[in-house]
Structure 1
Amino acid sequence: MLNYSKRVSDDLMQWVVAEEQFSTLTLGKCEAIMSLGNGYMGLRSATEEPYIGEKRNLFVNGTFNKFDEEEVTELPNAADLTRLDLRIDGERFSLEKGSFTGYSRMLNIRDAELTRSFDWESKDGKKLRFTFRRFVSLHHKHAIGMRMEVTLLQGDVRLSVGSGIDGQMNNSGSQHFHEGEKRIYDKTYLELLQQTTESKVTFVLHAAHSHKLNGAELNLAPRMEIERRQVAVKYELDLCEGDTYTFDKLATVYTSRDLEFSGESDLSTIRSHALEQLKALHDQGFDEMLSEHQKAWAEVWRDYDITLKSKNEFDLLAVRFAVYHLVVMTPAHDRRMGIGAKGLSGEGYKGHSFWDTEIFILPFYIYSNPRIARSLLEYRYLGLEGARRKAKENGFEGAMYPWEAAWPSDGEVTPVWGAVDIVTGEQTKIWSGFIEQHISSDIAYAVWHYFKATGDQEYMDRYGYEIILDTAKFWASRLEWDEEHGRYHINEVIGPDEYKEHVDNNAFTNYMAHFNISLAIQYCDELKEKRPELFAELNSKLGLEAARPVWEEKLGLIYLPQPNEQNIIPQDDTYLQKQIIDLTPYKNQSKVGSLFDDYNLDQVNNLQVSKQADIMMLFLLLEDRFQPEVKRANYNYYEEKTLHDSSLSLSTHSILANDFGDEALAYDLFRRAAEIDLGPNMHSSDAGIHSASLGGIWECLVMGFAGVRMLGGELHLNPRLPQAWEELSFPLYWQGSRLQIRIDRSGIRIKSSSADVIRLKVAGKPVSFEGELELPQTSGAQPIS
């Protein structure tokens, strides 16, 4: 059972996610939602003692490897550092033996620390109190700290603690590492080297232990063990009633792919540096490391200063939970890496990056930390190599971005085969990597969004223009001429709604391709007129002189599905002709995907049912291109046919519901989005947290209830708080200025960090100010009619 309102202390109110009942049948939930990380690495929060069904995952961002030619590249599960072999009087310790009371496992979001405690009684009546603490350092990105305290409450025991580095890990059966070198230095410092089988990334892992008895340093001689893919030590001691034994373990993780070793560093250099760092941390100790880590997180919360006064305490906790995971999953340290669909919290989606980043996560960073937003977009620039290769392999020009991306140069890494077909019993082919192509324009859109919000001309000159222009070349070559209608179509695709495969003229895909090409024409002309040297450089690389007239000729002939007599835009050529069924049982489902208990994908393809927001995405990304009555009609039509079986969907519909003045539905959808990971479903996060949904939670607050939008290069604010909220405050960067925006029932207050004049529109009315602005609520939001 999970508790989201646990009263630990006054200063930790709405900062704690707690588990208060332990079950080996639901291990994955807490392992994922309580996972730790710092962007460099992510550590799934499996318990120290092992259980059947657990998933012990340690991922280092960017270290992708392919098991063999029949599988796709994935983040390899590195050696385990967290498991302890605990024995009480010779018997292996487990919560499945004896009895326990006072159980609590907590993720302290404020300090990014995991704790677990309980009192345990053996079958012999001996009672022990256990407390475990763990953190992945934000101050030292290579370090992990762990502590176990054991207090003997009744009786005397012989305690044995086995600990080490276990390289016998795999990714659901796929072994990514060769047998590595193992060593123990000075009976204290454990070392294990691993190298990935195909990508040849070397991992260098170290660990060291220290002990205290009743607060005094304790020297224990270990029994050293080196086995296949394992190096470990075992300590034994006798405890008397009243004794408290403290066991600390500090570990470090380095790889040959780390930015600091990206030059000519050989293994001996990495190895000696890593060992030196471990020794320094060992001398420093757990407490000082934790203090530095807490200070680093305090800075995070100062930077992302979101406050929310709600009648429901869960709301603020959910927002903080989202920001916490956005921080721990994002490789802010290295532009060569993206964000996985499960962050670094589980094996789901193999650590690959999707359009999730650009559409659902990037806005958080654009408006909260533009430096990191730029790094994520530089990752996409580095990915042009793979995108160009994919385009060429498919017979197209320009840059065709992979649906799933790993290391920038890898190209397309989407698996070909997926789940079983319930009707045929055969494995289902995954078509996304072949025909879900809107990601190329999604990335171009994200570049444009970042540039308009930040004014980062240097990024555009070095990276952004090239992405937009080369993706436009892809789309121009992808268009198919329809002689009968005298226009260009985009056939045989999958749009955002992945329940509709092999469709023609998916509206989202067509509109976004049109946007991409239109933007390329605009920038091509601007560069030629105002930046001839840069134009010449890009022309030499991309052939713009030849591409420009092709774009011009094709742009006006791209088929853009228009509203019918009922103002409904067809999602694709055949959606509105498909069968309509009663979706009530599936709209009220307790788990996603229940539709497939009754239908296979081919059958679903012939129903008017959507997995997620599709047409609706256009009303968020290109909202100023559609009339209010068209948006409203389509929302009413498609919302009832959307099952929200994708975690990407609820936040989009929440934002649009708020736009239409349906505050109750908007708030309900926000809560449902927040409960994807934090809700009562104890298996929703087994494969890892839902990174796009977490970005969507922030979008609900800022783009939804606060009404923040970038439209045509202008900042818009049109707030409408739900009834449960009294006040919302958040930072927002705009054109280099940091704004602190506060919205409550009395009005809007904005403070700027710069002396520049800030211009924006509030509820559609132009406003400009310097320093500070205060507006009464009467000038606030108007719903879209």
Structure 2
Amino acid sequence: MTGWSWEYEGYEPADERLRESLCTLGNGYFATRGALPECSADEIHYPGTYVAGCYNRLTSGVAGRQVENEDMVNVPNWLPLRVRLPGGPWLTPDTATVVEHCETLHLLAGLLERRTRYDLGGDRVLMVRQQRLVHMADPHLAALRSEFTAEGFATELEVEAALDGGVTNAGVARYRDLDGRHLTHVHTGTAAPDTVWLRCRTRTSDIRIGMAARLTAEAPVAVHHEPARAIQRLTLRLDPGSTATVDKTVALHTSRDPAISDPLYAAVDRVDRAPGFEELLESHLTAWDQLWRRAELDVPGEAGDILHLHLFHVLQTLSPHTADLDVGVPARGLHGEAYRGHVFWDELFVLPYLDLHFPEVSRALLRYRHRRLDQACAAARAVGRRGAMYPWQSGSDGREETQKLHLNPRSGRWLPDHSRLQYHVGSAIAYNVWQYCQASGDAEFLHTKGAEMLLQIARFWADSAVYDERLGRHRIKGVVGPDEYHEAYPDAREPGLDDNAYTNVTAAWVLARALELVEALPEPRRRELVERTGLDGGELELWEDVSRTLHVPFHNDVISQFEGYGDLAELDWDGYRKRYGDIRRLDRILEAEGDTVNRYQASKQADVLMLGYLFSPAELQGLFGRLGLRLDEGTWRRTVDHYLHRTSHGSTLSGLVHGWVLARARRAEAWKYCQEALQGDIADLQGGTTGEGIHLGAMAGTLDLVQRGLTGLETRGGALWLDPVPLPELSSYGFALRYHGHWGVRLRLERELLQIEVPSSNASPIDVRLPDRTVCLEPGETGRLLLPE
């Protein structure tokens, strides 16, 4: 990484999948992996293009059962372009002699550049230079410029470009027992002498896909059609040292797009009207420049370089174009097929960043959840509860997409998957609604769609709580917490755990916020909600009671992850590390040994400590106080220490949360975990998973670590609250944010000095609240605040 470029020198087949993920280009509507255009899908390469929200459902036979899965579809591949000398083999880095190979991802430009020099024998060298973009201004366009230079010899060069509709979903090895043939009715045709098209549809969701490609070169183009492939061919004449250029411009539409009649017609029309590569590049650069200004981030050193890469991939997955789409936050971006492109709770780590830069995108992502509120209410009714039970994994229509079986690659066994019991996803959605409205000042959304979601999620928690006479408290039973390792008690016949601390505390928070919102609603709107939902005074009294009496278990003056956690056995951590080295996926290791992680005090990722990620120390103490429990600094410190030594970090989110919590607790080891979060994908710390798609939550979370974690930034009560913590490894940084109508508020921290610059506008002043004072900054004013040591 050098400043704003991400560069790979040399060709390394073993690293190709990782490079393809990290060199993905996208614009929020679709994205294409950074595969080499001349290479087909095989064990080394995996070209893939994914359209946000384009899913298809198939049924497969697995382990004697019929299993239904919905996947984000790998749509037709627009990349193919290969070359050869007349009568010779097609040139690829796997089959020809490579003298030099370099791939550079230009972050500022949103451009992927590759340079390869092939040794063709007899002092003949062919230089291939390509520039690729997925257009950020027009979300339906992509372009590939290829330049060929013959070094020291003259030759003809045969060029073949194609649109390939014969693709499948085969990018994740452990899914290959499942049906991945999502496309059907593939047809190709010619629209003009230089333009071909391809159309197809998904097998069950019946989404129609139209794609068109225009080939521009100083040579006539011939067209050839094969089953599922539209092929264009031409022959270039290369003189010694001369360069010939071929431009491929592609348009992509689906039947989910607004303002079109037919996706194929729209694609052909758009590619016909598209300008040449130079003009496309100019408008593309302008769009990226605008994004970078809105998401301004200045962090020195290697950390800053990695944060720029993370921000780049967040913006490619969730751009302003996303505001016009009905899509959620795909946990692995639009970068690969892991998790089947599903939407989990990762928005909990993504939206807080977007709220303060692209609130219109946050609003759209919350509207995705609101459109599926009826489905969540139906899911709750199906298990005999009121309110909304959002699915752990969501896709096209909001039904539960969590697989019922999952494969342990270590043992080769298909095992029951109980992660659908992670009902805490509802609290994450409620939290994001509240945070978005606090950061944006969007009272209209809070009082309408936000209120409808918040109230139904609160209703679900109140109806899930069971009063225990012995404890004198309410309990929530049969759940799975964020840890994910623990799905049941040892030797239990039924899955689920009782009183997961994270679940219960966040449920209490949701109930308290829902009560606060009902009280604050304008009377006419409150009346509408009451009429629509049947909300009455008795139910509100129950919410008040449950929000103050939910049970939070403790053991040895430490918050227990769930009731009975303290009775579990201790794991021989040192022994397992010596035997296996990397024990991040401890659950798979133990299952392969015939054991189960359910027997041990061992977590995959932060669970109880997630509370310190979501809530400031003061707010967390207030929540426990509302529950009639005392959470002092000593108890929280012991809790952090306890789980710090019993977590395997089998998720990229875990290092992020631990780094955040430790930074807020002013602990010296915070930077170690921050570094792990920063390195998670670029170093592929999870052992091969990044090649299946980046971890979007962890990437966005590292940005938010700088934005909110280190600054202690909170948006509540109509004010910006700041309580910076000193982190020696990152003592100087700055960023811009958008807050309550103010565009480009700049914050800069230089050791003990906090500078806040409010741009000129007609917006209201900003109240800034520090632990020891309150400052009011007018538009056009810059505050320089000396922080206490």
Among 483, 486, 511, the residue aligned to 1:517: 511
Q: Does 1:508 align with 2:502?
A: yes
Distance 1:661 1:299 in 2: 36
Q: Matches of residues 53-64 of structure 1 in structure 2 within 5 Å?
A: 53=43, 54-64=45-55
Distance 1:569 1:745 in 2: 34
Q: Structure 1 stretch 147-156 or stretch 702-711: which is displaced more?
A: 702-711
Q: Structure 1 stretch 337-346 or stretch 719-728: which is displaced more?
A: 719-728
Q: Give the deviation of 1:340 after TM superposition.
A: 0.5
Q: Does 1:146 align with 2:135?
A: no
Distance 2:434 2:229 in 1: 49
Task: Give the RMSD, CA atoms, in angstroms.
Answer: 2.2
User: For residue 490 of structure 2, what is the aligned residue in structure 1?
Assistant: none
Q: Does 1:665 align with 2:669?
A: yes
Question: Aligned AA for 1:457?
Answer: A
Q: Secondary structure at the match of 1:673?
A: helix
Q: Secondary structure at the match of 2:98?
A: strand
Question: Aligned AA for 1:273?
Answer: A
User: For residue 68 of structure 2, what is the aligned residue in structure 1?
Assistant: 71
Q: Give the deviation of 1:535 after TM superposition.
A: 1.6
Question: Aligned AA for 1:604?
Answer: V
Q: Give the deviation of 1:691 after TM superposition.
A: 0.2
User: For residue 241 of structure 2, what is the aligned residue in structure 1?
Assistant: 242
Distance 1:650 1:764 in 2: 31
CA contact (8 A) 2:295 2:737 kept: no
Q: Secondary structure at the match of 1:91?
A: coil
Question: Aligned AA for 2:141?
Answer: A
Among 446, 470, 495, the residue aligned to 2:481: 495
* 1:731 to 1:471, Cα distance in 2 relative to 1, 3 A: same
Distance 1:586 1:450 in 2: 43
Among 376, 380, 386, the residue aligned to 2:375: 386
Length, aligned pairs only: 741
Distance 1:276 1:603 in 2: 58
* 1:316 to 1:633, Cα distance in 2 relative to 1, 3 A: same
Question: Aligned AA for 1:539?
Answer: V
% identical equivalent positions: 27
Segments of structure 1 that go 5 or more residues without pairing to the other structure are: 6-13, 212-217, 781-785
Distance 1:590 1:710 in 2: 42
Q: Secondary structure at the match of 1:450?
A: helix
User: For residue 635 of structure 2, what is the aligned residue in structure 1?
Assistant: 630
Q: Matches of residues 610-629 of structure 1 in structure 2 within 5 Å?
A: 610-623=603-616, 624-626=619-621, 627-629=632-634
TM-score by length of 1: 0.90
Among 689, 697, 712, the residue aligned to 2:694: 689
Q: Deviations over 1:227-256 (max 9, x none)?
A: 221111121234332231111100000011
Among 393, 400, 417, the residue aligned to 1:430: 417
User: For residue 376 of structure 1, what is the aligned residue in structure 2?
Assistant: 365
User: For residue 214 of structure 1, what is the aligned residue in structure 2?
Assistant: none
Question: Aligned AA for 2:336?
Answer: G
Q: Matches of residues 18-417 of structure 1 in structure 2 within 5 Å?
A: 18-50=7-39, 52-53=42-43, 54-68=45-59, 70-89=67-86, 90-172=88-170, 174-211=180-217, 218-222=218-222, 224-261=223-260, 265=261, 267=262, 270-281=263-274, 284-309=275-300, 313-330=301-318, 332-357=322-347, 359-407=348-396, 409-417=397-405
Q: Structure 1 stretch 166-175 or stretch 199-208: which is displaced more?
A: 166-175
Question: Aligned AA for 1:431?
Answer: H
Q: Give the deviation of 1:132 after TM superposition.
A: 1.2
Q: Structure 1 stretch 109-118 or stretch 719-728: which is displaced more?
A: 719-728
Q: Secondary structure at the match of 1:179?
A: strand
Distance 1:21 1:438 in 2: 45
Q: Give the deviation of 1:737 after TM superposition.
A: 2.7
Q: Deviations over 1:366-409 (max 9, x none)?
A: 112222211111111112122112112222111110111112x3
Q: Give the deviation of 1:481 after TM superposition.
A: 3.3
Q: Does 1:477 align with 2:483?
A: no
Segments of structure 2 that go 5 or more residues without pairing to the other structure are: 61-66, 171-178, 488-495, 622-631
Distance 1:703 1:38 in 2: 26
Q: Secondary structure at the match of 1:232?
A: strand
Q: Give the deviation of 1:728 after TM superposition.
A: 0.8
Question: Aligned AA for 2:563?
Answer: D
CA contact (8 A) 1:225 1:231 kept: yes
* 1:305 to 1:291, Cα distance in 2 relative to 1, 3 A: same
Distance 1:713 1:449 in 2: 12
* 1:15 to 1:587, Cα distance in 2 relative to 1, 3 A: farther
Q: Give the deviation of 1:127 after TM superposition.
A: 0.9
CA contact (8 A) 2:24 2:32 kept: yes
User: For residue 215 of structure 1, what is the aligned residue in structure 2?
Assistant: none
CA contact (8 A) 2:253 2:266 kept: no
* 1:679 to 1:516, Cα distance in 2 relative to 1, 3 A: same
CA contact (8 A) 2:710 2:726 kept: yes
CA contact (8 A) 1:80 1:166 kept: yes
CA contact (8 A) 2:477 2:497 kept: yes
Q: Secondary structure at the match of 1:368?
A: coil
CA contact (8 A) 1:676 1:684 kept: no
Q: Secondary structure at the match of 2:148?
A: strand
* 1:768 to 1:586, Cα distance in 2 relative to 1, 3 A: farther
* 1:118 to 1:590, Cα distance in 2 relative to 1, 3 A: farther
CA contact (8 A) 1:83 1:163 kept: yes
Q: Does 1:730 align with 2:729?
A: no
Question: Aligned AA for 1:661?
Answer: R
CA contact (8 A) 2:583 2:589 kept: no
Q: Give the deviation of 1:712 after TM superposition.
A: 6.3
Question: Aligned AA for 1:415?
Answer: Q
Distance 1:272 1:776 in 2: 58
User: For residue 783 of structure 2, what is the aligned residue in structure 1?
Assistant: 774
CA contact (8 A) 2:737 2:746 kept: yes
User: For residue 783 of structure 1, what is the aligned residue in structure 2?
Assistant: none
Q: Secondary structure at the match of 1:122?
A: strand
TM-score by length of 2: 0.90
Distance 1:98 1:352 in 2: 39
Distance 1:300 1:22 in 2: 32
CA contact (8 A) 2:155 2:238 kept: yes
Q: Give the deviation of 1:459 after TM superposition.
A: 0.6
Q: Deviations over 1:540-591 (max 9, x none)?
A: 2211116324324443332133x55x53111101222211124247779875
Distance 1:78 1:590 in 2: 38
Q: Give the deviation of 1:297 after TM superposition.
A: 0.4
Distance 1:387 1:680 in 2: 35
CA contact (8 A) 1:38 1:137 kept: yes
Distance 1:702 1:590 in 2: 34
Distance 2:291 2:367 in 1: 23
Q: Give the deviation of 1:684 after TM superposition.
A: 4.0
